[in-house]
Structure 1
């Protein structure tokens, strides 16, 4: 595995910053990085890549290679503590469970806010110019798609300035690196996340005025260029059998993730797989935000069959349809009829392709598409609600999908992510805040108010119940057995938690739900 460590970002140009100028933790620390991650010197693999060195990394590595020869006297955990500022992994953003839940969330915004600071030498954190909200727990940085749903709560709390500051930060990242990375850490630069930037701009335009579209037009265009392989050969574009273009998730690296190094190395060893492309599929699932899910497994069950780069995701293409529509809107406001027509045409072509490739008549549901088998995916997931969220389904399709949703996905605590329990966190029995919002809004778009309110009520009640029992709002919930915690995934369920707070407040406000 070691031979892959030192090839990160070679030849990859990231916007205005050359990748060769950026040293990720594995590049800085070499063998020390490998040993810390593989020997569990720190409980969570993400902790070490978030550490800040107390002195020159070259000197730290030199001392490490010298001192570790004395195996009896050397302690790796002690060495890390002596040479690095280790982030506090135990700090929980808990105020009190005695306050009303809305008051609790409003208090949490302060706990989860981070303010700009000077760039720290050899830190993995990418500096941002404006204040922002982090999800919480081990997620100590801003995250791309999380932030849209967090903004829904910030809007409900009247924190419009924070929303605008976060959007300014994302525009800064686009201008600086050519895209919005997974999060503002240098080890996330090889991938993005579901492209919600255009929805954030929409949200801000509703708060302020249409001039927002012109302000962020350059950033929106760069975002589109990244996803469409125009600014760099990112390989996100796939030519479909009829010649049309759709998109997939595709991380730029085929190495173990720095923040989950041991997990990825062990997974590859256990699977007996020597092809490093498994790492790209793992990383690409991380770009999707659904890491991990039966959506990406060829057998619908096991990680060893992961094939993310062969899957054309329905949700990603709906998001890019919205981006194309937003660019059309931008140019309409600018009175540039040529580019307005261009993006209108691109959006229409994508709309037709979404209908053609993602609607499964047999399942009566929108599914992903497998580019290798040239067939719809057999896995039904809440990603299938994105066409309703963006009003891409016709009324008959919406009616059929509504029935499937109610009969198969609706549970005591809200909507389950998929119908499969694979022990992965983006599968049953787990429910996630963003997918509740997308589904509820999708139902409302087609007039299914009662079902939307039922889902919202069950989700809010579950969030409230857990809060009163624990004093926390969680990253995800078990919606099937509301007496059990959510599980699965590579880390313990996190509390904080940005997008849960946002969707909770948004749904309470939308339906005027009692607390």
Structure 2
């Protein structure tokens, strides 16, 4: 049995129960590896002791961290000090997910995915001690490859596959884990590592609660307190903003309306990509390094890390670092984030009314209505027939189309007329042989052409189907499944992203900061649902 999160307003819990829960879960240790290991962390990353910058912050210390740091400070200036040997003696790297499945024999694709869930499931009692991994109360599924912790938006699409595979108990456990994270930290972090606590990811907890309810779990009303708290996280500071001002994730536009942006509360290099971020900031000497770091981190909160969507200079063939150094994520009000927040506000209003809390219901319905109007005014572009991200300081749309434009269909924010216009635009500009393209831009970034991603296919297909646009929805779904099946038939694996080419040439995707990863949570989830 999973302990229930706190009840909605008007439903009482016993103080003794809350006290017992607090004793079971003492205040978490939130120090990140860079906080904890100070100059040792920077020395390891700068020296490239590990080929992947993510390896060291994920390591489990073999002893007390403070003693390891003291030993480093004592020994590092000694003649012949060997940093790599010191790290090997004091830290244990985490194994990639599915390492033992690399040579697995071919199976039917459906059976292969069903067999992967156990291989990708992690159990809290087996967590390494004193590392960066955040403790969770229940089992969960990781994406795969180098990603051996639970991620926010990945998990919703993974959970779709758990539902299709009949693994509803694990689905419910994961939903309770996300409720726990909101209770513990006030938001869902990007992933369950201390170095991810300064940011979140696209807010899909409302969708998880609906999925859990639809699979025989607790009603979504059970999660109303967490939905309210997540909304408060995204809207922090909104009531203090004058027109033209921004605070954290909220922007008040010139007409007084509110929309949201991606953000990160830190402005240092990402710990899991330290060397990469330092190099990117160095490629933009005209910009303060902290500004570049903040925009890189904000793009990581979006889940689209990285894409021409966030860049000022994504010219084809340009130097990757120079292009990435032009990143401007915090200047951009994204379509997908605001659509998902519209759904969150609408869902809170519905659940609060169900609970009899009519003041909360009215308040959040008013917020949803105001956001809807703001999106229509600022993000819908009649000439393009699409929803476009907004450069808010310049008050002009970002003209480059990307697949996030379909999110207002998924969240039921679009009108029927907008949905029809958008379907025509998608078919004309983003439909490619392998499914729905991520953007119109080819680049060295992984969230650009030629790559396609499972969550974007799901959002577009489900959104189109919700408006009765079944022909295009079916075409995208069919093309995507053929892509996944073609690669699986040849390589016997599912991967993080795919190059959306005609099927004899279909292959795993490329680009970005790290090699293509096997596993893979959200590919498994979307594919299993559609099979």
The answer, yes or no, to whether TM exceeds 0.5 is: yes
Q: 1:332 and 2:353 equivalent?
A: yes
Q: 2:272 aligns with which of 237, 245, 259?
A: 259
Q: Distance in 1 between matches of 2:238 and 2:163?
A: 33
SS in 2 for 1:255: coil
Query: After superposition, what is the alpha-carbon deviation per residue over 1:399-432, rounded to whole angstroms, capped at 9, x for unaligned?
Result: 2211221122111111110000121111111000
Q: 1:502 and 2:525 equivalent?
A: yes
Q: CA deviation at 1:18?
A: 11
SS in 1 for 2:325: helix
Q: Distance in 1 between matches of 2:123 and 2:392?
A: 43
- Aligned pair count? 491
Larger mean CA deviation between 299-308 and 91-100 belongs to 91-100
SS in 2 for 1:216: helix
Q: CA deviation at 1:300?
A: 4.0
Q: 1:393 and 2:400 equivalent?
A: no
SS in 2 for 1:246: strand
CA contact (8 A) 1:95 1:104 kept: no
Distance 1:478 1:231, change over 3 A: same
Runs of 4 or more above 4 Å deviation:
16-21, 118-121, 230-234
CA contact (8 A) 1:424 1:489 kept: yes
Q: Distance in 1 between matches of 2:106 and 2:256?
A: 59
Q: 2:50 aligns with which of 42, 45, 50?
A: 42
Q: CA deviation at 1:495?
A: 0.7
Alignment-derived partner of residue 150 in structure 1:
158
Larger mean CA deviation between 174-183 and 362-371 belongs to 362-371
Alignment-derived partner of residue 123 in structure 1:
131
CA contact (8 A) 1:417 1:431 kept: yes
Q: Distance in 2 between matches of 1:19 and 1:309?
A: 31
CA contact (8 A) 2:152 2:191 kept: yes
CA contact (8 A) 2:238 2:252 kept: no
CA contact (8 A) 2:433 2:500 kept: yes
* Equivalences for residues 374-385 of structure 1 within 5 A: 374-385=395-406
Alignment-derived partner of residue 435 in structure 1:
456
Larger mean CA deviation between 95-104 and 228-237 belongs to 228-237
Q: CA deviation at 1:62?
A: 3.1
Q: 1:321 aligns with which of 336, 342, 358?
A: 342
Q: Distance in 2 between matches of 1:131 and 1:357?
A: 42
SS in 1 for 2:251: strand
TM-score, length-normalised on structure 1?
0.91
Q: CA deviation at 1:484?
A: 4.2
Q: Distance in 2 between matches of 1:167 and 1:90?
A: 22
CA contact (8 A) 1:94 1:471 kept: no
Q: CA deviation at 1:158?
A: 0.8
Query: After superposition, what is the alpha-carbon deviation per residue over 1:306-338, rounded to whole angstroms, capped at 9, x for unaligned?
Result: 111110011000000110111011112112222
Q: CA deviation at 1:284?
A: 0.4
Return 5+ residue gaps in structure 1 as ranges: 1-15, 509-515
* Equivalences for residues 328-367 of structure 1 within 5 A: 328-367=349-388
CA contact (8 A) 1:95 1:108 kept: no
Q: 1:286 and 2:300 equivalent?
A: yes
Alignment-derived partner of residue 34 in structure 2:
26
CA contact (8 A) 1:117 1:127 kept: no
Distance 1:493 1:390, change over 3 A: same
* Equivalences for residues 131-280 of structure 1 within 5 A: 131-208=139-216, 212-229=219-236, 235-272=248-285, 273-280=287-294
Alignment-derived partner of residue 493 in structure 1:
516
Q: Distance in 1 between matches of 2:126 and 2:443?
A: 43
Distance 1:115 1:18, change over 3 A: closer
Q: Distance in 2 between matches of 1:366 and 1:437?
A: 18
Q: Distance in 1 between matches of 2:437 and 2:512?
A: 16
Q: CA deviation at 1:275?
A: 3.8
Query: After superposition, what is the alpha-carbon deviation per residue over 1:416-460, rounded to whole angstroms, capped at 9, x for unaligned?
Result: 100001211111110000000011111112222122111111111
Q: Distance in 2 between matches of 1:244 and 1:434?
A: 29
Query: After superposition, what is the alpha-carbon deviation per residue over 1:457-498, rounded to whole angstroms, capped at 9, x for unaligned?
Result: 111111111112212100000003644431111111111000
Query: After superposition, what is the alpha-carbon deviation per residue over 1:52-97, rounded to whole angstroms, capped at 9, x for unaligned?
Result: 11112233223334444345x3332222111111112485355735
CA contact (8 A) 1:97 1:468 kept: no
Q: 1:114 aligns with which of 122, 134, 139?
A: 122
CA contact (8 A) 2:237 2:250 kept: no
Q: 1:310 and 2:351 equivalent?
A: no
Q: 1:75 and 2:82 equivalent?
A: yes
Return 5+ residue gaps in structure 2 as ranges: 1-21, 241-246, 316-322
Alignment-derived partner of residue 16 in structure 2:
none
Q: CA deviation at 1:194?
A: 0.3
Superposition CA RMSD, Å: 2.1
Distance 1:90 1:118, change over 3 A: closer
CA contact (8 A) 1:134 1:142 kept: yes
SS in 1 for 2:175: helix
SS in 2 for 1:253: coil
Q: Distance in 2 between matches of 1:85 and 1:266?
A: 27
Q: 1:408 and 2:429 equivalent?
A: yes
Distance 1:313 1:18, change over 3 A: farther
Alignment-derived partner of residue 17 in structure 2:
none
Q: Distance in 2 between matches of 1:412 and 1:19?
A: 51
